[in-house]
Amino acid sequence: MSQRKASGDVGRATIRDVAERAGVSVASVSRVLSGNYPVSEDLRRKVMKVVRDLDYVTNAHARSLAGGGTPTVAILINNITGAAFAHVAKGVEGAATLRGWLSLVGTTGDDPERELALVNLMRQQGVAAVVLLGGAYDYDEYQLRMARFARSLDAAGSHLVLVGRPPLEGAVPATTVDYDNEGGAYAMASHLLSAGHRKVLVLPGHAELTTAQGRLSGARRAFEAYGVPFEATMVRHGPYDYEHGYAAVGECLRDGLDFTAVLAGTDVVAAGAMQALRAAGLRVPEDVSIVGYDDIPLASQLTPQLTTVHVPYEEMGRVALRAVADRREGGGARRKGADGDHLVLGTHVVVRHSVRPPAPPR
């Protein structure tokens, strides 16, 4: 007895079903659908009619197994609700869609285990590239870990792209899309210094986070350039969130620390800092100036609107995808020289209303 499909099968229609019903061969249907082979108008009509009747779509798995298939790019992100990351994801996704590529999103939750699991999962999926988003923790093993990922993906015909974190050392097959993090911090701090501020509370972020390190060193360079001493007691590390901004400023006020401005590591931290100042009866910017970093929509929605550093997140996403697509078009030709690509995008200060010259010494 035949084991092949019963007539009233509920499963998905196959290309064979289409061929049979249209009275043509399987190959013909495939050719009509992929369109890379000349077919008669008559055949095309016959096939397309059946395709519509059956509401047939090709099986992506079978197609990609047979060599074809749409390229897919995987986006790995710490936390999808972070505004900055969301914009990068939007950039990648938009550029991917434009080319007919598909995009997958995975959340690591800052957990190295999950990160590893996800990279392997993506490798199984045969993705064209894995885009890793956000600052990295600068542990010793970090470089080794990423290098392993890079080589592993490369061996599988995929590619690793690091966005918003420093490039890997040595000849590792990975692409980095970065922004001038330190330069932005330098400019932001200079803005504060040139307005006359000398006592600045700095909330750079977690000490181990590469992003925070860059922002801190940029600020320090600006202080040195202005000949203003940079005091360790004025630096408070902590996570990039609202609560940290609020708590850190509250603490400093209770400690009686003397400052006329706050240089926050991100806009969200700045929002927390602003709230804490208000709670203590201080006005922004009359009593204390505040600046942020990232220029997410929140920055222009606060009162007063926040002076901050614009980071081209969405463009970074687009650039990242373009880099991958180019490398794929280019084929294996320049594979060799393409190791360790590093693209850096510019940042700039966006002046709004949260900075004023300091009030005369109390």
- Closest approach, Cβ 98 to DNA, in A, equals 21
Q: Which residues of 267-285 are buried (b: 16+ CB within 10 A; e: fewer)?
A: bbbbbbbbbbbeeeeeebb
* Binding at 125: pick from a copy of itself, DNA, none (beta carbon under 5-8 Å per type): a copy of itself
Span near a copy of itself by CB under 8 A; candidates 25-33, 87-95, 132-140, 177-185: 87-95
C-beta of 118 vs 216, nearer to a copy of itself:
118
97: part of which helix (H) or strand (E)? helix 83-98
DSSP letters along 329-340, please?
HSTTTTTTTTTT
Q: Are strands 289-291 and 308-310 parallel, antiparallel or unpaired?
A: unpaired
> Do 188 and 293 form a contact (C-beta atoms < 8 A)?
yes
Q: Taking CB under 7 A as the rule, does residue 67 contact DNA?
A: yes
**Residues 6+ away with beta carbon under 8 Å from 172:** 146, 147, 150, 151, 339, 340
Surface-to-core class of residue 43, CB atoms within 10 Å of its CB (0-12 exposed, 13-18 middle, 19+ buried): middle
* Binding at 43: pick from a copy of itself, DNA, none (beta carbon under 5-8 Å per type): DNA
Token output for 361: 């010494």
- Closest approach, Cβ 104 to a copy of itself, in A, equals 5
* Binding at 15: pick from a copy of itself, DNA, none (beta carbon under 5-8 Å per type): DNA
Report the interface residues with DNA, using CB under 7 A: 3-4, 11-16, 23-31, 33-34, 36-40, 42-43, 56, 58-59, 62-63, 65-68
Report the interface residues with a copy of itself, using CB under 8 A: 10-12, 55, 57-65, 69-70, 79-81, 83, 86-87, 89-90, 93-94, 97, 102-107, 114, 120-121, 123-126, 152, 155-157, 242, 268, 271-272, 274-275, 278, 297-298, 300-303
